[in-house]
Structure 1
Amino acid sequence: MRDFQAPGRSAVFATNGMCATSHPLAAKVALDLLQQGGNAVDAAIGAGVLLGLCEPHMTGLGGDCFVLLKPAGEERVITLNGSGRAPAAADAGALRAKGLDAVPVYGVEAVTLPGAVDAFCKLSTDWGQLGLADTLAPAIHYAETGVPVAPRVAYDWAEASNLQGAARAHYLNSGAPLCAGQIFRAPGQAEVLRRIARDGRAGFYEGEVAQDLIDSLRAMGGVHTLDDLAATGCTYGDPIRSAYRGLELLEHAPNGTGAVASLILNILSHFDMASPDPFGPERTHLEAEATKLAYDARNRFIADPDHTTRLAHLLAPNTAAQLAALIDPKRVLPDVAPLTEAIHRDTVYITVVDRDRMAVSLIYSIFHSFGSGLASDKFGILFQNRGAGFTLAEGHPNEMAGGKRPMHTIIPAMLGEGGRITMPFGVMGGAYQPVGHARLLTNMRDHGMTLQSAIDAPRAFAENGTLALETGYPTGTAQALADLGHKVIASPGPRGGAQAIRIHDSGVLEGASDPRKDGCALGY
């Protein structure tokens, strides 16, 4: 039980349905859609699309998504890969010939085709109950009338400096970032959503909207075509599964990095993670070292599903055992060289469970803050810069090439226990996400934290040669880690944002939402 005299928040309990996400308007819309007769898919789509207006720097119609779905009355989980591909004419060799050693993060070269809209349309047709017109109605309303900017959104908006051209007109207020309480309106997106509500995917991938997307990209020097846009299509699949001390972790397969979360936990399973102080140097050191080893594997192997050939090796128990043997409790491993320059923390995550216990775990992103910083001229659709997740290293499985999907950082997840799915969850935060998944599980399983306290707890992340510690770590921990050889720094900002819904044996739903964001869990 938390200290009710200290700042914090309680978990939310309900029986009929629940949503946990990073903005209260979206959580409320999800519940409204459930109470109108929709299911978890309808609620996740409607609220997820609205998040692109509540948090436009994080996500939008020009982005990608990944989904884990547990159908009502079943314990199986299916995945949907809603990530877009590079245009057919994309060519790593041509970029190398220009003297580049990485894809320009904020250049048109980084723009991959948007996959999320196709995925939302597919989900609605195959699994929804309401239909797109009703599902998208709340987002259309808010796009027209406006959304007040929330405090965390304003904090992030003020840091954005990559907006260029048409994006400045659509996402700045007289050239300045919007502040908390100001109203953000997106009438162009309202029109796009009306067309999707009426015509399905054709309203986005064909006609005037498609022409606006491609004409805008071509005018900026892009090689994207209408054929590239028309060819965009999501794919169903199966989750990858791993075990951690009685819990089953279900993650999305590559090109997402869910396998990295599994590898971190597989490595940590070789250590006593329960005995050390959860915020002490021993646990933090082990997690940092496991992170370095797992991210080195990520950089070698994770790529487009058709080009990821070592997934079984990545998940093999022997691989984790060999990597765990490299960790010295008294010594710091060398740093891992980054695969790309694409470091970010901009994503939204939503989870919904309905009265029939259909569960959706959905993550949706345009990669960096405001994506590429580029937007379509007429409708103001931000273009994601997911292509910055490619490498230009010749022969690498994740080398940029036409029609390939880049490595993605975004990963939705679910937990299972005793043959039953017990918790859809996600931890936003760019490259941090696999560590966030592992840390949430170890907080709960090894340290007995409640779901909300496991989310609230301070976080650490080893990246780019540093070990960043959030506020909340004891001074002694930071000093002990520095004495071991870590380059300890204060985290430059809040690290990630988690959302989760636990499905108890009793049927009661328990929702938790990260205080690092503006959102909440709501149930009824």
Structure 2
Amino acid sequence: MRRRSFIASLPLAASPLLLPDPAGAAPATTDGPGQGSAPHGQPAAGTLPKFQPEGAERFERPDVHAGDRPSGASFASRSAAMGLNGAAGTAHPIATQAAIAMLRRGGSAVDAAVAANACLGFLEPTSAGLGGDCYAMIWDPKLQRVVSLAGSGASPRGLSLETVRQRARNGVIPKLGAISVSVPGALDAWWTMHQRYGRLPWRTLFEPAIELCEQGAPVPQIIGYYIKRNLKAFLRPGSGVEETANAMHTYAPGGHMPDEGDVRRNPDLARTYRMIAGGGRDAYYDGPIAATIERYFRRIGGWMTRDDLRRHHSEWLDPLVTSYRGTEIYGMAANTQGLATLQMLNILENFDLRDAGFQSPLSIHLQAEAKRLAYEDRARYYADPHFANIPVSWLISKDYAAQRAKLIQPGRILTPVHPGEAPSHGDTTYFSTASADGLMVSMIQSNFRGMGSGLVADGLGFMFQDRGELFSLQDGHPNLYAPGKRPFQTIIPGFATRGGQPWMAFGVMGGDMQPMGQTQIVLNRIDYGLDIQAAGDAPRWHHEGSSQSMGEDIAGLPPNGLLRLEAGVPTATRAALAAIGWTIGASDGGFGRYECIEHRMAGRDRVYAAASEMRADGVALAY
């Protein structure tokens, strides 16, 4: 069979969703590029294509698709990289190379992950850095099980709920400025992992990042686009950022916004890394860096102190786990949305998605409805378990999932949608690494929205996260703001095992998209048989409009939310989904960015396959 016929040849189940409206109704859309008309500045269909203008952000031709591959899925961008000794996949090629270099020097997968993350703090400041949090799931070959580490910082102990409410806008915590800053947990997470699994000296892990900061690196296309967009947001009147001079000095010296191909340097971050390389985690949390941070927040009227930093420590946790058609899928516990992936999979296990068909309207409808049900629970129950009694066992149970699955109907949208009634008792970078000894790391790190709060402490070269925005201000809610409490977290690494052995270390970056993205990867692999590269390259969906307990709800959305579909979703699928009432939104780039390492055994040989995707600037390598 020719690969270009792959989608069209898959079976479709009998359902009102299988065909477009007989009347030929077009999908309902919101205003946006790429929906029904040519984007501004692009030729209309049927005209000769023009070359992309110099400096243009996109070159869109809806009638042009990727070239034909002689093997595998027609839509795959490349083959997975394979090797016997180790693998790494990150959102930047240089960070991936740094990870591979650590493995070649005899380092563990944790050494490689820390080195890559340090590089990403410079190379990809829009998603990573010393001012953010970090989570990891690790396959421990000696223990023969998955362990997880939560590196999530708490709110400042001197910032009261009353003050937060006084600073709130429209009843929610502002997105930017000191009010949204919580203690950064990333560096302590690196240190904690290295203490248990590191092989190379701590200082060695920072050598590539320090060299990059001092010598510079060219700005990639997507990262450059997001740096400029974030800096413009910080500078906007009324943004809430107390001071922007440090951010501009760090990311746009001389007022020059970075363009693709410009060489960026960050000598301030190099000095910070040197202090950490020599002084360990205490240099950051109870040393010269902590002192600088305290002085800075005092100067701008913020709240974080050296004592807040000193008190922070990461915690090892048993991950959550469920089975999906015989495969064990793991999710982060603690204060994350990792449970949402498992809830969605539990619900979808009640349907025959293979029979529904890959990229069929029925398959996407079932997935989107499972998301809506799981995210109602996410808004109602998810929070820091140190402050709230979360009914995890009930939420993750197969019986509860079966009850929720019965609410989903193939030919109509569930309206309204509510969280379950619990029993009375009770923007991001992802990367993965693997070493020859079988150690595998699934790791995610973020400053949260965009580059973070907009705040860069004097001379340190990194921006603080705005994760505190995700607290709720609703009385009685488990995620209600409190001093010294960790906010709800969106960042979640993924991991899967089969037969008690590791299978995939994977993740999909991108805010609320992460459980949706992880679920789609699992379905693509298990239900539709795609390899790890095609599973990430396949077109995705993203639903917006579920209830939120944090942040400001998106205004003006239709009652059932907005279902965004990437351009590769078949036209007939779009029409059928619109025919039953889904409002189809423009493809806006919010479909996450994926990395994955797969573990295989070929006789006595361990083989790693590594995949990245076209939605980011990154690459996956193996050796």
**What TM-score do you get using the length of structure 2 for normalisation?**
0.80
**What residue in structure 2 maps to residue 280 of structure 1?**
360
Post-superposition offset of 1:220: 2.6
- Paired position in structure 1 for 2:10: none
8 Å contact kept, 1:18–1:353: yes
What SS is found at the alignment partner of 1:423? strand
The aligned residue for residue 615 of structure 2 is: 516
* Superposition CA RMSD, Å: 1.7
**In structure 2, distance between residues paired with 1:369 and 1:321:** 37
| Comparing 1-10 and 492-501, the one that deviates more | 1-10
Q: Which digits, 9 at most, give the CA deviation of each residue in 1:82-123, with x for residues without a partner?
A: 011101123333333456411111121110000111111111
**Counterpart amino acid of residue 587 in structure 2:** S
The equivalent residue for 2:330 is 250
Quickly say closer, same or farther: Cα 1:522–1:335, change in 2 above 3 A.
farther
CA contact (8 A) 2:331 2:493 kept: yes
1:231 to 307, 311, 327: 311
Q: Are residues 1:468 and 2:594 paired?
A: no
- The one of 199, 213, 219 aligned to 1:129: 199
Change (3 A) 1:243 1:467: same
1:342 aligns to what? none
Contact 2:513 2:590 in 1 (8 A): no
Residues 490/308 of structure 1: CA separation in 2 closer, same or farther (3 Å cut): farther
Equivalents in 1 of 2:418, 2:134: separation in Å? 27
Partner residue of 1:186? 266
Task: Indicate conservation of the 8 Å contact 2:168/2:174, yes or no.
Answer: no
- Which of residues 413, 418, 421 is equivalent to 2:502? 421
Answer yes or no: is the 8 Å Cα contact 1:470–1:494 preserved in 2.
no
In structure 1, how many angstroms separate the alpha carbons of the residues matched to 2:257 and 2:476? 41
Q: Which stretch shows the higher mean deviation, 385-394 or 208-217?
A: 208-217
Question: How far, CA to CA, are the matches of 1:280 and 1:179 in structure 2?
Answer: 39
TM-fit CA distance, 1:513? 0.6
Offset of residue 165 of structure 1:
3.5
| Residue-by-residue CA offset, 1:30-67 (whole Å, 9 max, x unaligned) | 11001111111100000111111111111100110001
Corresponding letter in the other structure for 1:232: H
**Aligned positions of 1:296-307 closer than 5 A:** 296-306=376-386, 307=388
Matching of residue 143 in structure 1 with residue 200 in structure 2: no
- Separation of aligned partners in 1, 2:517 and 2:260: 28
Counterpart in the other structure of 1:106: 176
SS of the equivalent of 1:113 reads: coil
3-state SS of the aligned residue for 2:437? coil
- Residue 422 of structure 1: CA displacement? 1.2
* Cα distance change of structure 1 residues 172 and 310 upon mapping to structure 2, 3 Å threshold: same
Q: Cα gap change, 1:376/1:448 in structure 2, threshold over 3 Å: closer, same or farther?
A: same
Counterpart Cα distance in 2 of 1:402 and 1:258: 24
Secondary structure at the counterpart of residue 68 of structure 1: strand
CA distance in 2, matches of 1:278, 1:299: 29
Find the aligned partners of 2:439 and 2:297 in 1 and give their Cα distance: 39
> Aligned ranges for residues 329-368 of structure 1 at < 5 Å?
329-334=410-415, 346-368=427-449
- Aligned residue number for residue 341 of structure 1: none
Select the residue among 479, 490, 515 that pairs with 1:434: 515
Counterpart AA for 2:378: R
Correspondence for 2:239:
none
- Who is 1:95 aligned against? 164
Aligned-pair CA distance for 1:515: 1.3
SS at match of 1:502: strand
Cα 1:99–1:497, aligned 2, differ >3 Å: closer, same or farther? closer
Q: CA deviation at 1:473?
A: 1.1
> What displacement does 1:336 show?
6.8
Tell whether the 8 Å contact from 2:293 to 2:305 is kept in structure 1 after alignment. no
Match of 1:323 in 2: 404
For the 8 Å contact 1:192–1:203, the answer to whether it is kept is: no
> Do 1:503 and 1:509's aligned partners in 2 also have CA atoms closer than 8 Å?
yes
Tell me the distance in 2 between the aligned counterparts of 1:21 and 1:360. 12
Q: Secondary structure of 2:507's partner?
A: strand
| Partners of 2:307 and 2:265 in 1: CA distance | 31
> Would you say the 8 A contact 1:64–1:116 is kept in 2?
yes
Q: Is the 8 A contact 1:254 1:308 kept in 2?
A: no
Match of 2:233 among 139, 152, 162: 162
Counterpart position of 2:601:
505
Contact kept in structure 2, 1:106 and 1:162, CA below 8 Å = no
- Report if the CA contact (8 A) 2:167-2:173 is conserved: no
Instruction: Give 2:113's aligned residue.
Output: 44
Preserved contact between residue 67 and residue 361 of structure 1 (Cα < 8 Å): yes
**Match for 1:212 among 269, 292, 306?**
292
Matched position secondary structure for 1:77: strand
| AA of the residue aligned to 2:541 | A
2:323 counterpart letter in structure 1: A
Q: How many residues of Structure 1 are paired with residues of Structure 2 in the alignment?
A: 517
Amino acid aligned to 2:511: G
SS at match of 1:353: strand
Deviation at 1:446, TM superposition (A): 0.7
CA distance in 2, matches of 1:470, 1:90: 42
Larger Rg: 2
Give the letter aligned to residue 328 of structure 1: Q
Amino acid of the residue matched to residue 69 of structure 2? Answer: F
Give secondary structure in 1 for the equivalent of 2:430: strand
> Per-residue displacement from partner, 1:236-259 (whole Å, max 9, x unpaired)?
111111010011001110211111
Please say if residues 593 and 613 of structure 2, whose CA atoms lie closer than 8 Å, have aligned partners that are also in contact.
yes
- Contact 1:125–1:131 (8 Å) recurs in 2: no
What amino acid sits opposite 2:290 in the alignment?
Answer: A
- Equivalents in 1 of 2:565, 2:594: separation in Å? 17
2:37 corresponds in structure 1 to none
The alpha-carbon distance between structure 1 residues 97 and 152, as it changes in their structure 2 partners (threshold 3 A), is: closer
Q: 1:178 to 1:243 in 2, by over 3 A?
A: same
Distance 1:286 1:521 in 2: 31
Give deviations 1:353-382, integer Å, cap 9, x for gaps: 101011111101000111111111221320
Residue 486 of structure 2 corresponds to: 405
Q: Name the SS for the 1:430 alignment partner.
A: coil
Extract unaligned runs of 5+ from structure 1. Answer: 339-345
**1:476 partner amino acid:** A
CA distance in 1, matches of 2:142, 2:84: 16
User: Does the residue aligned with 2:520 lie in a helix, a strand or coil?
Assistant: helix
Shift of 1:157: 2.1
Tell me the CA shift for residue 231 of structure 1: 0.6
Secondary structure of residue in 2 paired with 1:508: strand
What SS does the corresponding residue of 1:300 show, helix, strand or coil? helix
The worse-fitting range, judged by mean Cα deviation, of 257-266 and 475-484 is 475-484
2:127 aligns with one of 36, 58, 63: 58
Query: Partners of 1:213 and 1:335 in 2: how far apart?
Result: 47
Q: Return 5+ residue gaps in structure 2 as ranges.
A: 4-67, 235-243, 420-426, 546-560
**Matching of residue 479 in structure 1 with residue 575 in structure 2:** yes
Q: 1:99 to 1:162 in 2, by over 3 A?
A: closer
Show the counterpart of 1:343.
none
User: Secondary structure of the residue that 2:358 maps to in structure 1?
Assistant: coil
Q: Which residue of the partner structure matches residue 115 of structure 1?
A: 185
